[in-house]
Amino acid sequence: MRMRQVLDAWIDGELDRATAAEIEQHIAACPACLALKAERDALRLKVRDAAQYYATPAAFKAALHARLAARTPVRATRTPGWLQAGVFASFTAAIGLLAGLWIARPPSEDPLREQIVASHVASLSDTQRLITVASSDQHTVKPWLQGKIDFAPAVRDLSMQGYTLLGARLDHVADRQATAIVYRMRNHVINLYAWRATGYNAEALTLQSARGFGLATWADGGLRYAAVSDIERGDLERFARLAQAP
């Protein structure tokens, strides 16, 4: 059951608000999924009740308070010796170096990556959400997208390579309108997201992972693409390179 793949993430508060709201609506109307949630809730209560808690020993608390009370504050007017000044200068330099390295790090793409994976997981919970236009014919899927979005993502027939086109839907990535072109490899779903990029510079294929799912991203022709699935890393990379092909 696909709901099993998203239920724990929803209960733990790991999904975005829109996805969580859709799952809540589904569970409210689905007795089977409501029963699954009840099982998870019962398990959480059982674990919480059976967990052992350890209080801090009174002797340790007393010793800690005494140690803190005995500390003598350093006088602000005291002139540091040459050794103290040297240590302080070295410490300051080290902190400055670490701060510089941290600032120079490229910004993390974790929020975007998490939103893509959350959208993929949510789509697996409901077949009607996964696909709006169901067709294995790229000449049916691509015209369906025209007029609904102001960009034209590539829709390829990769069935000969083992990736069956199932259809497509409209979706969002962060605050941007996106499309999700859906493929299947054996029993695994692949969501290929596409949305407008901020520029027209091409970006090479990058492979990442999040929550056990593989994620392949690249940019080309003013669009960004992200393919996400639980297939093997090599299969996902092969799919992404085929999707990139002119």
222 plus 153 within the same structural domain = yes
Question: What pLDDT sits at residue 103?
Answer: 42
123 plus 187 within the same structural domain = yes
- The pTM assigned to this predicted structure is 0.57
Q: What is the CATH number of the domain that holds 240?
A: 3.30.200.100
Question: What pLDDT sits at residue 214?
Answer: 93
118 plus 234 within the same structural domain = yes
145 plus 230 within the same structural domain = yes
- Picking from 74, 91, 126, the residue at the C-terminal end of a domain is 74
Q: Distance between CA 117 and CA 110 in Å, rounded?
A: 10
119 plus 43 within the same structural domain = no
155 plus 219 within the same structural domain = yes
Q: Distance between CA 237 and CA 2 in Å, rounded?
A: 24
Question: What pLDDT sits at residue 89?
Answer: 54
Q: Which contacts qualify for 56-59: CB closer than 8 Å, 24 or more apart?
A: none
Question: What pLDDT sits at residue 193?
Answer: 95
Beta bridge partners of 210: 213
Q: Distance between CA 13 and CA 163 in Å, rounded?
A: 33
118 plus 239 within the same structural domain = yes
Question: What pLDDT sits at residue 232?
Answer: 94
227 plus 146 within the same structural domain = yes
Q: Which amino acid is at 20?
A: A
Spell out the per-residue pLDDT of the chain, length 246, in tens. Answer: 456 667 777 777 766 666 777 788 888 888 878 888 887 777 777 777 676 666 777 777 777 778 777 765 545 445 555 555 555 555 455 545 544 543 444 444 457 888 888 888 888 877 777 899 999 999 999 999 987 888 889 899 999 999 999 999 999 887 788 999 999 999 999 999 999 988 777 889 999 988 889 999 999 888 999 999 999 999 999 999 999 877
Task: Report how many domains make up the chain.
Answer: 2
Question: What pLDDT sits at residue 210?
Answer: 84
The CA distances from residue 101 to 57, 92, 139, 205, in Å, are 41, 14, 50, 26
214 plus 129 within the same structural domain = yes
